[in-house]
């Protein structure tokens, strides 16, 4: 028996410290929160995905009166991205959220487990790491890959 550790590298940055292309993606994710349909939770989430063909795709959470039928921003965006540009590979995803008071959350929110699993599929398809930028009003967390958000992920049958 031996002990092991999984270490997740996370960069903590202010918006101003981001590169221009990351700032643009964060802006798009923040804008996308305004297209959320969240009458039940009133928690508005936006996601923006940069593809390797230069396009960016955005999504926002879409709720439903039958609660489990709703979809998170990250899955809205990743399914839309792949349904629109099936050949394109994901490069970076940014996620932003506004609380029930309409203000951006101070601390970044992280994708739910189902979204991590869905995003991992597109990282696997891309064949390279997909950076993840989780945004908050105070600071951003930048992760090097989706798999760093989902250790011990279920990938495929042997």
> What's the number of CA atoms in the CB half-sphere (13 Å) around residue 104?
20
Rounded least distance, CB 117 to ligand THU, Å: 13
Rounded least distance, CB 99 to ligand THU, Å: 10
What value, to the nearest 5°, has the Cα angle with vertex 26 and ends 54 and 12? 120
Catalytic residue flag (residue 55):
no
**H or E stretch covering 23:** helix 20-32
Using CB under 6 A as the criterion, which residues of the chain lie in contact with ligand THU when the complex forms?
38, 41, 43, 45, 61, 63, 70, 72-74, 109, 111-112, 115
Q: Between 43 and 79, whose beta carbon lies closer to ligand THU?
A: 43
Rounded least distance, CB 133 to ligand THU, Å: 13
Q: Between 56 and 111, whose beta carbon lies closer to ligand THU?
A: 111
Q: Between 50 and 72, whose beta carbon lies closer to ligand THU?
A: 72
Rounded least distance, CB 149 to ligand THU, Å: 11
Rounded to a whole number of angstroms, the distance between the first and last alpha carbons of the chain is 24
Residue 95 forms beta bridges with which residues? 47, 134
Q: Report which of 106, 102, 81 is spatially closest to residue 93, judged by C-alpha positions.
A: 81
Beta-strand relationship, 44-51 and 90-98: antiparallel
Q: Between 72 and 132, whose beta carbon lies closer to ligand THU?
A: 72
Catalytic residue among 17, 55, 74, 123: 74
- DSSP letter (8 states) at residue 92: E
Query: Could you give the residue numbers annotated as active site?
Result: 74
């Amino acid at each position: 028996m031996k002990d092991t550790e999984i270490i997740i590298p996370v960069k903590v940055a202010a918006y101003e410290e981001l590169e221009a292309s990351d700032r643009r993606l964060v802006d798009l994710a923040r804008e996308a929160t305004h297209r959320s349909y969240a009458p039940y939770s009133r928690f508005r989430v936006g996601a923006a995905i940069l593809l390797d063909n230069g396009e960016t795709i955005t999504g926002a959470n879409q709720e439903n009166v039958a609660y489990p039928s709703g979809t998170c921003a990250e899955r809205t965006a990743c399914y839309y991205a792949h349904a629109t540009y099936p050949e394109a590979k994901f490069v970076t995803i940014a996620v932003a959220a506004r609380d029930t008071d309409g203000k951006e959350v101070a601390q970044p929110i992280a994708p739910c487990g189902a979204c991590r699993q869905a995003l991992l599929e597109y990282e696997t398809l891309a064949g390279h790491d997909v950076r993840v930028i989780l945004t908050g009003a105070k600071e951003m967390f930048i992760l090097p890959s989706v798999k760093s958000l989902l250790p011990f992920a279920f990938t495929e049958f042997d």
